[in-house]
Amino acid sequence: MSKKDPMGGTAEQESQAAFGPKMLADIKPPFIPEGASGMTVLVEWPPGHPGAAPHRHSGPAFGYVIEGAVRFELEGEPERVVKAGETFWEPGGDVIHYQDGNALSDAATKFVVFMLCESGQPMLTYVDEEELAQRAHLRAPRPTGG
């Protein structure tokens, strides 16, 4: 008997397929807002673009970098670079999303994000300077030059 893979086919079927579905991320978000709606967004940043100002989402977000590289930072996690072909996710809710800018100074970056948005709430809410100061202790240490 053949062993089934997580995508629903057998290992033999998966190995025979030159193309087809490939698991990129398997995330179990901490919550999905009641009555959530799904939204898929294409984001394109020119070279060196800083991305959106610090913000949060009303529900979880799942992303895939199509081209370029995203400088990605969530509250409590160190800044990292997510390259083309890689995925990222964020839980949404109260967590601040500090960075989603283009990590490249010489090329554009493009990524797709699928979000589950709380019913009646905006997909993205910016965080003001006062709240950023109050929550500064929750931010991971910043990288230092050198």
| pLDDT tens track for 70-107 | 999 999 999 999 999 999 999 998 999 999 999 999 99
Point out which residues pair with 82 in neighbouring strands: 70
Instruction: Quote the CA–CA distance of 134 and 90 in Å, as a whole number.
Output: 21
In a domain, 143, yes or no: no
Q: What mean pLDDT comes out for the span 15-38?
A: 76
In a domain, 26, yes or no: no
pLDDT at 11: 59
How, if at all, do strands 109-117 and 61-67 pair?
A: antiparallel
CATH of the domain at 88: 2.60.120.10
Give phi and psi for 4, each to the nearest 5: -85, 145
In a domain, 113, yes or no: yes
In a domain, 35, yes or no: no
In a domain, 32, yes or no: no
In a domain, 56, yes or no: yes
pLDDT at 121: 87
Q: Is 132 helix (H, G, I), strand (E, B) or coil?
A: helix
- Both tokens of residue 62? 């799942």
**What residues make up the domain containing 84?**
45-135
In a domain, 6, yes or no: no
Let me know how many helices (H) and strands (E) the chain has, helices first: 2, 9
Number of domains the chain is built from: 1
In a domain, 144, yes or no: no
Indicate whether 8 pLDDT > 70: no
Instruction: Quote the CA–CA distance of 57 and 117 in Å, as a whole number.
Output: 7
